[in-house]
């Protein structure tokens, strides 16, 4: 496990801190009521019709039935050679959000890395429970594995997500490892500020009232409500808390989080356990960065997202070198 290789300038960090001062006036996220969710989802729904602004990347929607699950996929396809498929899970506290929220980030991955991005529009709370959500997300990941060549002409796979989406990506990856004989096609995982321990890591338990973006004091009760029939020990079940899973046999991973995100312990502890089991996790800790920092209009965000794209390219290049050596 290594620390961040990103060396931000003073000017870049000052810009990020100015953004943080603006965020102090913004409401903190907590799970919304049904009416609140309806209003938020209606506003987010408009994003599905807005262009991401990246030339040469087409966007389409597809409804899929697979393994007795129904779900929508938002597919971003680059022009030219397709080098692989990236399965994406959006954030939103398991309760809100859409695949279209990730378009601007995903379109750059598609255009610059040559990957078809398959972003999963999974069903959110309270219309589904957490075990059902994980099963649906795993089915979507399995569909992408099973159809990558037929649909997109590619075999190389990546997986990623942000926040709750990082948790769902990790849960999906563990299920795919245990069920797919071709799991070795998964070349890498990109996990932004995910919650990997639903019993709450120390940094979550101690989150103060002035936490940015997230409602710090509400996090422990909010995570407990995800599995209402389980006590703290029960919420450590590896099927729901990947931090406690067997992490052997997983692909290279990069886990990213900011120093002022209450989920920082989740990323650092997950990277430590991943490295101990599989030897190939890298944690990137970004100074003065709150939750969702890579979504903000700052150079810190831009450089972090560019680092991720470079990391994906490195994994693809390494695979190409192996293939050439075998010829």
pTM higher than the cut 0.75: yes
The three-class DSSP label of residue 316 is: helix
Q: What is the mean pLDDT of residues 43-51?
A: 59
In a domain, 3, yes or no: no
In a domain, 40, yes or no: yes
Q: Are 80 and 93 in contact (CB under 8 A)?
A: no
In a domain, 327, yes or no: no
What crossing angle do the helices spanning 10-23 and 299-326 adopt, rounded to 10°? 120
What are the residues whose beta carbons fall under 8 Å from the beta carbon of 190, sequence distance 6 or more?
A: 158, 159, 160, 161, 253, 254, 256, 308, 311, 312
Question: Nearest-CA neighbor of 4 among 194, 252, 287, 306?
Answer: 287
In a domain, 225, yes or no: yes
Q: 198's torsion region: left (phi>0), alpha (psi -120 to 50) or beta?
A: alpha
Quick: pLDDT tens for 290-319. Answer: 999 999 999 999 999 999 999 999 999 876
Quick: pLDDT tens for 126-178. Answer: 999 999 999 999 999 999 999 999 999 999 999 999 999 999 999 999 999 99
Give the CATH number of the domain where residue 235 resides. Answer: 3.40.50.1820
Q: Residue 101: what pLDDT?
A: 92
Torsion of CA 164, 167, 172, 177, to 10 degrees: 170
In a domain, 118, yes or no: yes
Q: What are phi and psi of 52, to 5 degrees?
A: -75, -15
Quick: pLDDT tens for 238-269. Answer: 999 999 999 999 999 999 999 999 999 999 99
Residue 37: pLDDT band (50, 70, 90) is low
Is the model's pLDDT at 327 over the cut of 90?
no
Residues 204 and 284: their CA atoms lie apart, in Å, by 18
Tokens of 42: 């209606």
In a domain, 5, yes or no: no
In a domain, 223, yes or no: yes
What are the residues whose beta carbons fall under 8 Å from the beta carbon of 84, sequence distance 6 or more?
A: 113, 114, 115, 116, 148, 154, 155, 156, 157, 158, 187, 316
Q: What is the mean pLDDT of residues 34-46?
A: 56
Q: How many domains does the chain have?
A: 1
Is the model's pLDDT at 41 over the cut of 70?
no
Give the Cβ contact number of residue 82 at 10 Å.
18
Question: Nearest-CA neighbor of 286 among 317, 308, 318, 319?
Answer: 308
Show the domain range for 46.
10-322
């Amino acid at each position: 496990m290594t620390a961040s290789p990103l060396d931000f300038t003073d000017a870049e960090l000052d810009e990020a801190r100015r953004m943080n001062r603006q965020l102090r006036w913004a409401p903190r996220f907590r799970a919304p009521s049904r009416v609140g969710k309806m209003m938020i989802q209606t506003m987010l729904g408009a994003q599905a019709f807005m262009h991401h602004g990246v030339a040469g990347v087409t966007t389409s929607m597809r409804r899929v039935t697979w393994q007795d699950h129904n779900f929508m996929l938002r597919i971003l396809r680059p022009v030219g050679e397709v080098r692989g498929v990236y399965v994406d899970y959006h954030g939103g506290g398991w309760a809100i959000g859409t695949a279209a929220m990730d378009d601007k980030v995903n379109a750059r991955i598609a255009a610059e890395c040559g990957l078809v991005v398959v972003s999963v529009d999974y069903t959110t709370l309270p219309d589904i429970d957490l075990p059902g959500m994980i099963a649906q997300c795993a089915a979507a990941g399995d569909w992408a594995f099973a159809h990558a060549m037929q649909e997109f002409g590619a075999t190389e796979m990546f997986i990623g997500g942000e926040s709750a989406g990082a948790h769902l990506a990790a849960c999906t990856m563990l299920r795919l490892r245990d069920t797919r004989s071709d799991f070795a096609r998964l070349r890498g995982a990109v996990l932004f500020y995910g919650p990997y321990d639903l019993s709450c890591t120390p940094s979550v338990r101690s989150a103060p009232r002035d936490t940015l973006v997230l409602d710090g004091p509400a996090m422990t009760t909010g995570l407990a409500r995800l599995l209402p029939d389980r006590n703290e020990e029960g919420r450590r079940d590896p099927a729901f808390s990947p931090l406690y899973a067997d992490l052997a046999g997983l692909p290279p991973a990069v886990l990213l989080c900011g120093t002022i995100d209450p989920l920082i312990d989740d990323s650092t502890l997950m990277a430590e356990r991943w490295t101990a089991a599989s030897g190939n996790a890298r944690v990137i800790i970004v100074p003065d960065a709150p939750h969702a920092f890579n979504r903000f209009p700052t150079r810190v965000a831009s450089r972090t997202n560019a680092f991720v794209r470079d990391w994906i390219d490195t994994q693809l290049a390494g695979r190409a070198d192996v293939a050439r050596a075998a010829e």
